[in-house]
Amino acid sequence: MAMKPTMVQLPEELIDRLDRRARRDGVSRSSVVREAVSHHLASDVPDEIEKAYAAAYAAQPWGMPDEWGDVEAFHRELESERSGRPRDQ
């Protein structure tokens, strides 16, 4: 992965904590910053997934038959088979 030089300004207290963490972990300051930023940005992924689900349900609401069939009817039939009751017609 290519690295782009970047200047980030941090408060002195944060730099001190960053340096202690880097020494404790035996890595560079930059490595700690990269890991922290990656971890922070990873929270965007679930948000994107939730937005995709919301868009999919808006386009095809639950309970509406689609090209896979009527999912609710399938579940009703499965439940009646499991319970031994005759299925609704």
Distance between terminal CA atoms of the chain? 61
Tens of pLDDT along the chain (89 residues)? 788 888 889 999 999 999 999 999 999 999 999 999 999 988 778 888 888 888 888 887 777 777 778 878 888 888 888 988 765 55
Verdict on whether the full-model pTM lies above 0.85: no
Task: Give the closest residue to 50 by CA, choosing from 39, 41, 58, 38.
Answer: 58
Contact 86, 80 (CB under 8 A): yes
Cα 79 to Cα 16: distance, rounded to the nearest angstrom: 62
Cα 6 to Cα 1: distance, rounded to the nearest angstrom: 15
